[in-house]
Amino acid sequence: MKRILLSISMFLMAFSSQAAIEILITEGLDSAQPIAVVPFEYRGTQVLPQNVADIISADLMRSGKFKAVSPADMPQQPVEEREIDFNAWSERNIDTIVIGQIEDVRPGLFVARYQIVDIIRGSITGGHAQMLSGGELVQTKDHILFESRPIQFDVSDFRRVAHAMSDRIFEKLTGIKGAFQTKIAYVLVADNAARPYKLVIADYDGFNEQEIVRSKEPLMSPSWSPDATKLAYVTFENRQAQIFIHDLYSGSREMIASYPGINGAPSWSPDGSKLALVLSKDGNPEIYVLDLLTRQLSRMTNNRTIDTEPSWSPDGQKLVFSSERGGRAQLYEININSGKVKRLTFTGEMNLGGSFTPDGKSLIMVNRTRGRYHIAKQDLRTGALQVLTKTQLDESPSFSPNGNMIIYSTLYGQNQVLALVSVDGRFKARLPAGEGQVKSPAWSPYM
Amino acid sequence: MQANQLLKYLVVVLPMLTAACSTTVDEDQDTMTNGADTATETTTEDSVEVMTLEEKRKLEIEAEERKQAALRQTNMLFFEFDGSQIQAKYFEVLEAHAAYLRANPSAKVVIEGHADERGTPEYNIALGERRAKSVSKYLQNLGVSAAQVSTVSYGEEKPLDKSRTEAGFAKNRRAVLVY
Residues of A in contact with B172 (CB under 8 A): none
The model's confidence at residue B5, banded by pLDDT at 50, 70 and 90, is low
| Interchain CB distance below 8 Å, B164 and A393 | yes
The model's confidence at residue A10, banded by pLDDT at 50, 70 and 90, is very low
Least confident of A185-189, A268-272, A340-344, B61-65: B61-65
Per-residue model confidence as pLDDT tens digits over A86-111? 999 999 999 999 999 999 999 989 99
* Mean pLDDT, residues A302-310: 95
* Mean pLDDT, residues A137-161: 89
H/E run at residue B68: helix B48-73
Residue to substitute from B117, B118, B123, B134, interface A, most A β-carbons within 10 A: B123
Residues of B in contact with A280 (CB under 8 A): 126, 129
The answer for residues whose C-beta is within 8 angstroms of residue A261's C-beta and 6 or more apart is A241, A279, A280, A281, B129, B151, B153
CA nearest neighbour of A447 among A186, A180, A176, A207:
A180
Residue to substitute from B82, B108, B120, interface A, most A β-carbons within 10 A: B120
Contact B155, B121 (CB under 8 A): yes
Nearest by CB to B164, from A306, A350, A411: name it. A411
Residues of A in contact with B130 (CB under 8 A): 284, 306
Kindly list the strands in the beta sheet with A330-335, ordered across the sheet, starting from the edge strand earlier in the chain.
A307-312, A318-323, A330-335, A341-343
| Interchain CB distance below 8 Å, A439 and B164 | no
Crossing angle of helices B48-73 and B91-103, rounded to 10°: 110
Q: Is B165 on the interface with A (CB under 8 A)?
A: no
Helices then strands, counting H and E runs in chain A, come out as: 5, 34
CA nearest neighbour of A321 among A350, A355, A270:
A355
Selected residue with higher pLDDT from A12 and A166? A166
C-alpha pair distances (Å), A32 with each of A91, A146, A272: 18, 21, 36
Return the percentage of chain A with pLDDT > 70, whole number. 94
DSSP one-letter string for A260-319: SS-EEEEEE-TTSSEEEEEE-TTSS-EEEEEETTT--EEE----SS-EEEEEE-TTSSEE
**CA angle in degrees (0–180, nearest 5) for A91-A96-A100:** 120
The answer for residues whose C-beta is within 8 angstroms of residue A411's C-beta and 6 or more apart is A391, A392, A393, A417, B164
Cβ atoms < 10 Å from Cβ of A332: 23
Which pLDDT does position A19 carry in this prediction?
38
| Interchain CB distance below 8 Å, A308 and B118 | no
Per-residue model confidence as pLDDT tens digits over A217-244? 999 999 999 999 999 999 999 999 999 9
Which pLDDT does position B138 carry in this prediction?
96
| Interchain CB distance below 8 Å, B152 and A221 | no
- In this structure, which amino acid lies at residue A227? D
Kindly list the strands in the beta sheet with A350-356, ordered across the sheet, starting from the edge strand earlier in the chain.
A350-356, A362-369, A372-379, A385-387
Which pLDDT does position A311 carry in this prediction?
97
Q: Over 60: is that where the pLDDT of B17 sits?
A: no
Length of chain B: 179
Q: How far apart are CA A95 and CA A86, in angstroms?
A: 9
Which pLDDT does position B49 carry in this prediction?
58
Signed CA dihedral, A26, A31, A37, A39: sign only:
positive
- Looking at chain B, which residue has its C-alpha nearest residue A368? B119
Per-residue model confidence as pLDDT tens digits over B19-74? 444 444 444 444 444 444 444 444 555 555 556 677 788 888 888 888 888 888 88
Which pLDDT does position A127 carry in this prediction?
73
**CA angle in degrees (0–180, nearest 5) for A385-A389-A392:** 125
Residue to substitute from A220, A282, A349, interface B, most B β-carbons within 10 A: A220
End-to-end CA distance of chain B: 62
The model's confidence at residue A338, banded by pLDDT at 50, 70 and 90, is very high
The model's confidence at residue B10, banded by pLDDT at 50, 70 and 90, is very low
The model's confidence at residue A22, banded by pLDDT at 50, 70 and 90, is low
Least confident of A15-19, A234-238, B117-121, B155-159: A15-19
- Looking at chain A, which residue has its C-alpha nearest residue B162? A414
Q: How far apart are CA A371 and CA A367, in angstroms?
A: 9
- Looking at chain B, which residue has its C-alpha nearest residue A397? B120
CA nearest neighbour of B126 among A128, A303, A446:
A303
- In this structure, which amino acid lies at residue A261? G
- Looking at chain B, which residue has its C-alpha nearest residue A234? B122
Q: How far apart are CA B158 and CA B112, in angstroms?
A: 10
- In this structure, which amino acid lies at residue A8? I
DSSP one-letter string for A30-41: TTSEEEEEPPPE
Residues of B in contact with A218 (CB under 8 A): 154, 157-158
Which pLDDT does position B34 carry in this prediction?
44
Which pLDDT does position A317 carry in this prediction?
97
| Interchain CB distance below 8 Å, A220 and B119 | no
